[in-house]
Structure 1
């Protein structure tokens, strides 16, 4: 089944809302974005893949003041897959407490659930060198 324009808007809103919820520490609100059993893969940042919303919450709390003070997402590209999932590719900017800015690429798998579209898998890849994947 092809995704509609409304689906695209909903999925884009999911991805955009992440920074708002995360920056204010609204971990309960993340259930509107992610499945409870989401895999949040931060291995490219030096950590292990995080299992579920609880694992992501624990990791964020453990980082404390080393978390970005602001998450910004842009350049969202959606691609339908034959199994009905959507692969979303986006760019993320994190503003740190010292004013430095880090860049990442988010690779998401988004699926339609009984509660609506939710991210089931997110891979975060840092962008540390220009003109490279």
Structure 2
């Protein structure tokens, strides 16, 4: 089990800016600024379905139809011994029909020469009903997983 260590306020502010910038870059397809959000070797997802690198993330996002802009909120941060920071955020989307979907992101952020960047992101769609337009799903993240060093 990892011990949770508070992140200094100035570091937290920088990281929260990166997480807000993520939605702006992705939702606006501002791929020229993706380097302000991600490390060059970013991994999005886990296992065989993971996308590695900004160009793969771009391909993944561009293939989603319809695409619904999303909002990141309720972020908690913890510092790790190796100097990286983990972030757990809630997100929600508002679909064109006005319905809402939610989920979670768990990120590992690394300080680079240019500032904090997302090095690894995994997402969970959260609890969604059988009649959800995107299909049903169940929340897969928990505090036990959050505290596990080998998530």
Output the TM-score relative to the length of structure 2.
Answer: 0.76
Structure with higher Rg: it is: 2
In structure 2, the partner of 1:28 is 32
Separation in structure 1 between the aligned mates of residue 103 and residue 139 of structure 2, nearest angstrom: 14
Instruction: Give the drift of 1:131.
Output: 8.2
Give the gaps of 5 or more residues in structure 1: none
Give the gaps of 5 or more residues in structure 2: 1-5, 129-137, 143-151
Instruction: Give the drift of 1:3.
Output: 4.6
**RMSD of aligned C-alpha atoms?**
2.2
Separation in structure 1 between the aligned mates of residue 93 and residue 31 of structure 2, nearest angstrom: 18
Aligned residues: 127
In structure 1, the partner of 2:70 is 71
Separation in structure 2 between the aligned mates of residue 8 and residue 52 of structure 1, nearest angstrom: 24
In structure 2, the partner of 1:49 is 50
Contact 2:75–2:89 under 8 Å retained in 1: yes
Output the TM-score relative to the length of structure 1.
Answer: 0.85
Contact 2:125–2:139 under 8 Å retained in 1: no
The answer as to 2:21 corresponding to 1:17 is yes
